[in-house]
Amino acid sequence: MPYQKKLLLCLLLLFLAYCPAAWGSHSSLRNNTFNTLPDTGNPNIRTQLQNFADHELPQREGEHVGPYVFSGGVHGTSASLTAAAFATVAYVPERVSQAATAITYAAIANDVCWTIISSDNNGITGWTRVGSGNTGGYYYQCEGDTTPNEPTIPPNSLLLMLVRISGSAITSVEPRAPRHPLPIGYRYAFFSVRDYGAVGDDTAIDQDAVRATLTAAPIGAIIYFPPREAGAGLYRFNNMLTVAKNNTTFLCAPGVTLRWTALGASTFVNSAASTAAIRVNANDFRIEGCILRGPSVGVYTAEEHAIESLGTSTSARRSRLTLSGIECYDFGSRCLATQFVDQIRVENSYFHNIGYASAMLFSANDVWFNKNRVLTITPGTAGEMHGFSCTHYSVGYNLDPLAGSRRAVHPFCSNVIVSENIIEDVNWQGIDFHGAYDSVASNNRLYAVRSCISMGTGSGDASNYAGENNHVVNNECFSGNKNGTVSGRENLANGINLNGGATSPQGNSKAIGNIVIGYGIINNAENASIQAGSCDGCEISNNIIRRWSGVAIFFNAFINTINLHNNDIGPLATAPDTAAIAFRSVNATTGIIIATGNLVNAAAGTGATDGFRINGPTSRPHLSNNDLRGVVTNRYILNAVGFVRGTDLPTVITSINSTTIDVVLCTPGVVCNIQVSPTGPITLTNFTNAENGQIIVIHCMTAQTLTVNRDNARLQGGVNWTGNQYDSITLLNQGAANWREIARSGDVS
């Protein structure tokens, strides 16, 4: 016997030695032979071992999960009573593998039939078996009328489908089996709205029928909207559907539309009156594959929502709300509106022609808005609209003792991921956060949006507060149309906003790797493609900025450190531009600017007028390896700064008759020139604020003598150095006040 087979057999015997229940057959199973240890002397042992594994393990798992279909499980419609052959693999709980088999229903001309798959191979009373053999298979039961009444499903069986027959033809097939295992405690049942009187013919009002379905369905049910027999269904409503039971799913067959000609009265944030199509007053709601159509075409209707859900407060929240593969349009305000709801997942959906926002979430936690398409959010109100928005109720926020913290009564959203979406044609904000914690906007593509992405402050009474730890990464922001034509929204607002507030700054947030094209306002030195005001420890790096106006990167009133690295700033949108500043900072009173490796490059006359314009009484810019070749006029304008360090600017300190020189300006490792212009003989006795690694070159600039005292430096020969006009001496700091001469020169004039 090959080594591998011996090893397999040993492992199997070991397993059975510790699992004695596997030796015998299971009384609850029909296929007992598959649950008996195979005879090792049988030449078909390999096949029998495979059969044993196929059935033993599923049975054991069947103690924990409900039956489900692995593949197949449904046939199509037919012009006769015979359905085309179809195969199925299912677990009931043991594995049943039914080869492709056609079913001919012994039904009357207009009938309802139920089809199951079972491991029973001895026949089931009241059911007709299809095929023969000893491995179970398909069974069906017809009612003899057209009103569905789901039968009791036999043991070791799984309901596959409801089959409707009209005029001796199979006109409708509704799948009823789950397609993945679920916990036993989770009631997974299909409730077709057609069974409760819904028509779906674009004429009848199906409100009462769907409400009856919701009433009849237990916790954990799937509310199924099947297609019409002649094609996709369109179910009409003129009032609100309320979901009151946990674990409810709305599942629509492909192409099915739920259309509201009127909505129901509801309440939203702060008990404001609203109207909604679907109100979710439960946890674990999911809607999948449905097309939701509202009553408002091309207009803004305040607080008109497709799906609405509210928790009671930040300490009494709802959870687990999922929108998957839906389409939503013609609602006057929002497709999804929530407050105090966590674990929201919106994926692979299409939102368009909405009055205000595709989704607006108030004080939400743990959100994933992924791979959606958002198109044409209009007309908005007061010129404001959003592709996607996470916000909070801000009235009186500043009076909350916990304002600015995650424990506020109306906190900012937290842990929100907005990724891989396409957002287009929004005449205000593409992705908007009115305050956020630990949130990410990444790998989104935005076209024809007036302002691209905001991770800024709250609004109204929360405008002085911002969140922290937010990232805007690898997004593509285009103010023009997707096809490259002019949208009319070019250079009307900022592109990416990381602004903080005066009371609560933006903390530890980043804008990295974004492409920002067509943002900032011409001649406006307060508006930028990327801006980060009142930002504590923020970073703006590796961004590409093109066709910009006003300011490319604006960072004002920042705290501690702001990092600007490897940004690529190209040509202006319009030249001349009276602002045209690549990097601008004002009111930088306490922070440190670290700017390295940035590039400002453009053809002659189309680049920035100024490179770095930094204004602040105690700001401390560190500027190194920046390439400002495209700057037209001033590469550096450093007004009233405390001091400048780095390799970009040669440091020059001037002195007249002082005997003490402050060398705080000198960057360690970079030559620092000290130009002394004495009006008479003078001796330098001390250098204050010295740092290890500083290199200073002291020049005598006038026709007087300049002496460096040996008591404060290790000088050649151990004597004082005295120089005349244009003489110089170079000193290296080796720690504290320890200076050592490394070079000297005579008159080099």
Which distant-in-sequence residues (6+ apart) come within 8 Å of 514 by Cβ? Answer: 472, 473, 474, 475, 476, 477, 496, 530, 543, 544
| CATH code that applies to domain 651-745 | 2.60.120
8 A C-beta contact, residue 356 and residue 378: no
Per-residue model confidence as pLDDT tens digits over 601-623 = 998 889 999 999 887 655 567 88
Per-residue pLDDT band for 132 (boundaries 50, 70, 90) equals low
**Interval 370-390 mean pLDDT:** 95
**Average per-residue pLDDT in the chain?**
87
Q: pLDDT at residue 7 above 60? A: no
Distance in angstroms (rounded) separating the CA atoms of residues 701 and 697:
12
**Interval 66-70 mean pLDDT:** 79
Q: pLDDT at residue 11 above 60? A: no
Report the pLDDT value the prediction gives residue 506, as an integer from 0 to 100: 92
Pairing state between β 82-91 and 95-104: antiparallel
Per-residue model confidence as pLDDT tens digits over 691-748 = 899 999 999 999 999 999 888 789 988 899 999 999 999 999 998 888 999 999 875 4
Report the pLDDT value the prediction gives residue 17, as an integer from 0 to 100: 41
8 A C-beta contact, residue 731 and residue 737: no
Residues of the chain with pLDDT > 90: what percent? Answer: 63
Lowest mean pLDDT among 49-63, 214-228, 665-679: 49-63
Distance in angstroms (rounded) separating the CA atoms of residues 599 and 106:
79
**Interval 43-58 mean pLDDT:** 63
Per-residue model confidence as pLDDT tens digits over 342-364 = 999 999 999 999 999 999 999 99
**Structure-model confidence comparison of residues 575 and 545, the more confident one:** 545
Report the pLDDT value the prediction gives residue 93, as an integer from 0 to 100: 79
Q: pLDDT at residue 563 above 70? A: yes
Which distant-in-sequence residues (6+ apart) come within 8 Å of 215 by Cβ? Answer: none
Distance in angstroms (rounded) separating the CA atoms of residues 676 and 690:
18
Report the pLDDT value the prediction gives residue 590, as an integer from 0 to 100: 64
Q: pLDDT at residue 171 above 60? A: yes
Dihedral of the CA atoms 345, 349, 355, 359 (nearest 10)? Answer: 10
**Interval 639-647 mean pLDDT:** 62
Report the pLDDT value the prediction gives residue 229, as an integer from 0 to 100: 67
Structure tokens at 321: 């709300």
Q: pLDDT at residue 592 above 50? A: yes
Structure tokens at 502: 């005066």
Q: pLDDT at residue 326 above 50? A: yes
Report the pLDDT value the prediction gives residue 67, as an integer from 0 to 100: 80
Of the candidates 347, 301, 297, 354, which has an alpha carbon nearest to the alpha carbon of residue 324? 347
Report the pLDDT value the prediction gives residue 50, as an integer from 0 to 100: 62
Would you say how long the chain is, in residues? 749
What does residue 716 show for φ and ψ, rounded to 5 degrees? -55, 130
Of the candidates 91, 87, 49, 45, which has an alpha carbon nearest to the alpha carbon of residue 68? 91
Q: pLDDT at residue 647 above 70? A: no
**Structure-model confidence comparison of residues 137 and 61, the more confident one:** 137
Lowest mean pLDDT among 16-25, 189-198, 663-672: 16-25
**Structure-model confidence comparison of residues 564 and 227, the more confident one:** 564
**Interval 262-271 mean pLDDT:** 93
Domain residue extents for the chain: 3-61, 68-186, 651-745
Q: pLDDT at residue 191 above 90? A: no
Lowest mean pLDDT among 7-21, 145-159, 238-252, 638-652: 7-21
Distance in angstroms (rounded) separating the CA atoms of residues 54 and 95:
6
Residues paired with residue 82 on neighbouring β-strands, in sequence order? 104
Report the pLDDT value the prediction gives residue 415, as an integer from 0 to 100: 97
Is the previous residue joined to 93 through a cis bond, with omega within 30 degrees of 0? yes
Per-residue model confidence as pLDDT tens digits over 505-534 = 999 999 999 999 999 999 999 999 999 988
**Structure-model confidence comparison of residues 26 and 372, the more confident one:** 372
Distance in angstroms (rounded) separating the CA atoms of residues 429 and 497:
11
Lowest mean pLDDT among 9-23, 42-56, 393-407: 9-23
Model confidence, pTM: 0.73
Report the pLDDT value the prediction gives residue 551, as an integer from 0 to 100: 97
Structure tokens at 434: 């009115």
**Interval 20-32 mean pLDDT:** 38
Q: pLDDT at residue 187 above 60? A: no
Q: pLDDT at residue 423 above 80? A: yes
Distance in angstroms (rounded) separating the CA atoms of residues 538 and 535:
6
In one-letter notation, the amino acid at residue 494 is N
Distance in angstroms (rounded) separating the CA atoms of residues 423 and 595:
32
Burial of 92 (0-12, 13-18, 19+ CB in 10 A): buried
Distance in angstroms (rounded) separating the CA atoms of residues 120 and 134:
8
Per-residue pLDDT band for 122 (boundaries 50, 70, 90) equals confident
Q: Tokens 């044993």 belong to which residue? A: 52
Report the pLDDT value the prediction gives residue 310, as an integer from 0 to 100: 96
What does residue 108 show for φ and ψ, rounded to 5 degrees? -80, 175
Per-residue pLDDT band for 127 (boundaries 50, 70, 90) equals very high
Q: How far is CA 72 from the centre of its chain?
A: 34
Per-residue pLDDT band for 593 (boundaries 50, 70, 90) equals confident
Per-residue pLDDT band for 653 (boundaries 50, 70, 90) equals confident
